[in-house]
Amino acid sequence: MVDDYLKSVENTRGIAEKDLKGYSDFMKSKLMQLSDAEKEAWTANQVYLALGNVMTIAAELEIDTCPMEGFETEKYNEILSLNDKNLNASVVLAVGYRSNEDETQHYPKVRKSTKELFTHI
């Protein structure tokens, strides 16, 4: 995985392989020491970085999104043939335009206050 990524960096940015060796060694030293469970958790967490970007871009385009957990991962994996690709669903993102007939869109949002939400350190 690291080698494939760095090959892409090399090709995209025109950086020589030898100049990426230190970065390659660093990444491998950190990732290779992780247990399978730790690698799985790290990988799933990386999805949320991309998810945040997708949601931000969608909002800019006035497209609504709703991230969801708590779904039946095994069924998603089966339906989408993710197991065949050595992939695993970790979050679902519903994407679409809201209906003009949806009266709830005008309800005030219920949110925690900034005092409850943030801890100043």
- What the chain holds in terms of domains, given with CATH numbers, is 34-117 (3.40.109.10)
| 15 band by pLDDT with thresholds 50, 70 and 90 | very high
Query: What is the SS3 assignment for 18-71?
Result: HHHHHHHHHHHHHHCCCCHHHHHHHHHHHHHHHHHHHHHHHHHCCCEEEEECCC
CA nearest to 43, candidates 31, 55, 54? 31
pLDDT at 10: 94
Condensed to tens digits (0 to 9), the pLDDT of residues 40-66 reads 888 888 999 999 999 999 999 999 999
Condensed to tens digits (0 to 9), the pLDDT of residues 72-111 reads 999 999 999 999 998 999 999 999 998 889 999 889 989 9
Structure tokens, 10: 């090399």
pLDDT at 44: 85
pLDDT at 40: 85
* Percentage of the chain modeled with pLDDT above 90: 79
Q: Are strands 92-96 and 64-68 parallel, antiparallel or unpaired?
A: antiparallel
Partner residues linked to 93 by β-bridges: 67
